[in-house]
């Protein structure tokens, strides 16, 4: 039996737009139960997600190895769809790992990362999903360059609204251009954030998470809970709240004690009807187990 596990990811991290991602301890697990005449995928996502060769995991696997023998697959996952926690990235990474494990000529992890980035469009989710922990990555000139930073000694308070926010709609809210000074400011904040994370200066990093100039201000009207949660955290003396990926999930990073106390406040607010999760950082990334 082959079992593949991929963690959820929280991307952008404020000013780290399309380049910084963090793996969180919420998993998609793919179990390969053996060959069949046709592809069969059991999953918890409902009738709108295909259960045959049209499933994203299978389509991704076949994009890497087109002549794969069909398999019976079982998918379990706590990662909500279209919420900004890398659900499509986990499916892509799982599909590539499936093909790689069943292939007679497997590719390297770096090649796997490049293929996943080509399919996803940018590396901020797939890099931490494959590598684990905190990753900074760029995709330029058909190359992916990814750097793992020290694992943050932080816990994530995750608020997941009940409503979906498709990445396409969230992208549509962004401007086609930024003023030059605004772009320079956004870049300098992002650069300083990476430096703070690399030096384990968590207090500075948490401040900088809230100083994005690239996307949050344009998406704020789509995710009203962002302002509510940030205001709640500030009233408790806490910084480090940001929009996860394209949203609508909102993440606050901090100590486990502080994040537990923040969640008590959030759960007491009748305007916040979504789900809350208290998640540690996942350090393993993509894992494969054979038995």
What are 178's two structure tokens? Answer: 């930024």
Contact indicator for 92, 130 with CB cutoff of 8 Å:
no
Range 222-239 average pLDDT: 97
How far, in Å, CA of 166 to CA of 84, rounded? 9
pLDDT digits (tens, 9 = 90+) for 168-201: 788 899 999 999 999 999 999 999 999 999 999 9
Binding-site residue set: 80-90
Residue 9 has what pLDDT?
Answer: 98
How far does Cα 150 stand from its chain's mean position? Answer: 18
What distance in Å separates the CA atoms of residue 56 and residue 28, rounded to the nearest whole number?
13
Residues of the chain with CATH 3.30.230.10: 2-149+282-290
Mean pLDDT of 242-257: 96
50-72 pLDDT, tens digit each: 999 999 999 999 999 999 999 99
Q: Are 134 and 22 in contact (CB under 8 A)?
A: yes
Q: Is 90 exceeded by the pLDDT of residue 291?
A: no
Tell me the CATH number for domain 2-149+282-290.
3.30.230.10
Residue 221 pLDDT greater than 80, yes or no = yes
pLDDT at residue 163, rounded to an integer: 85
CA distance 147 to 268: 39
If you average pLDDT over residues 223-242, what whole number do you get? Answer: 97
Over 90: is that where the pLDDT of 165 sits? Answer: no
Cα dihedral 164, 167, 172, 177 sign: positive
Mean of all residue pLDDT scores within the chain: 96
Point out the annotated binding site for ATP. Answer: 80-90
Class in CATH terms, 155-280: alpha beta
Report in angstroms the alpha-carbon separations of 27 from 88, 130, 217.
13, 12, 30
CA distance 167 to 244: 11
In this predicted model, what pLDDT tens digit does every residue of 92-126 receive, in sequence order? 999 999 999 999 899 999 999 999 999 999 999 99
Domain with CATH 3.30.70.890 in the chain: 155-280
Mean pLDDT value of segment 141-150: 96
Instruction: Return the minimum-mean-pLDDT range out of 31-35, 89-93, 219-223, 272-276.
Output: 219-223
User: Averaged over 142-153, what is the pLDDT?
Assistant: 95
- Check whether 44 has a pLDDT greater than 90: yes
Identify whether 248 is preceded by a cis peptide bond (ω within 30 of 0). yes
- 1-27 mean pLDDT: 96
């Amino acid at each position: 039996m082959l079992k593949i596990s991929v963690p959820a990811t929280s991307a952008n991290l404020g000013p780290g737009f399309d380049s910084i991602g963090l793996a969180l301890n919420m998993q998609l697990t793919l179990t390969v139960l053996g060959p069949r005449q046709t592809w069969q995928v059991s999953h918890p996502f409902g009738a709108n997600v295909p259960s045959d060769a049209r499933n994203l995991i299978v389509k991704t696997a076949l994009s890497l190895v087109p002549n794969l023998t069909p398999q019976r697959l079982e998918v379990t996952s706590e990662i909500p769809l279209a919420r900004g926690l890398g659900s499509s990235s986990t499916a892509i990474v799982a599909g590539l790992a499936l093909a790689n494990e069943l292939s007679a000529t497997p590719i390297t992890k770096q090649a796997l990362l490049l293929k996943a980035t080509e399919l996803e469009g940018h590396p901020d989710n797939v890099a931490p999903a494959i590598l684990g922990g905190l990753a900074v990555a760029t995709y330029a000139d058909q190359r992916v360059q990814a750097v793992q930073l020290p694992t943050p000694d932080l816990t994530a308070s995750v608020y997941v609204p009940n409503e979906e926010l498709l990445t396409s709609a969230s992208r549509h809210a962004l401007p086609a251009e930024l003023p030059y000074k605004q772009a320079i400011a956004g870049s300098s904040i992002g650069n300083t954030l990476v430096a703070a994370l690399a030096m384990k200066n968590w207090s500075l990093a948490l401040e900088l998470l809230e100083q994005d100039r690239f996307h949050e201000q344009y998406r704020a009207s789509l995710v009203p809970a962002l302002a509510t949660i940030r205001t709640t955290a500030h009233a408790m003396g806490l910084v480090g709240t940001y929009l996860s990926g394209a949203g609508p999930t909102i993440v606050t990073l901090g100590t486990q004690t502080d994040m537990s106390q923040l969640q008590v406040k959030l759960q007491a607010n009748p305007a916040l009807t979504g789900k809350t999760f208290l998640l540690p950082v996942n350090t393993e990334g993509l894992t494969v187990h054979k038995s």
